[in-house]
Amino acid sequence: MKFLNGLAEYTINHFNTEESLMEEYKYPDMDNHKMEHANLIQEVVRFKADFESKKRTLSFELADYLKSWLKNHIQGTDKTLGSFIIEKSKEKINK
């Protein structure tokens, strides 16, 4: 349980930071990116609820889900966001 609480807290803090950057830099795909964040949080909450009600144990299912989600999100969505922010930062510097 402590693991899921820590994961949820870290995830929310990390996503808030990312979403603040998206707003600051007016990221055009912000709504889709935020939706991915919301979907992960929803899944973590579901895993937590299932664990608390003894419907599920902390298992490879959670580990596999997180591994897949993080890999796809970081290598896809976050990489695109990072490139966008770098480009916008360069534009700010060169003005």
49-62 tens-digit pLDDT: 888 887 767 677 88
pLDDT at 29 over 90: yes
43-91 tens-digit pLDDT: 888 888 888 887 767 677 888 888 999 999 999 999 999 999 999 999 9
Residue ranges of alpha helices (H) inside 1-95 are: 2-24, 30-52, 60-72, 79-93
- The structure's pTM equals 0.84
pLDDT at 3 over 70: yes
32-47: b or e for each residue (b if 16 or more CB lie within 10 Å)?
ebbebbeebeeebeeb
Look at residue 78 in the predicted model and tell me its pLDDT: 96
- Cβ distance 27 to 84 under 8 Å? yes
Residues of the domain holding 12 = 2-93
Please tell me the total count of domains within the chain.
1
Residue 15 sits in a domain whose CATH number is 1.20.120.50
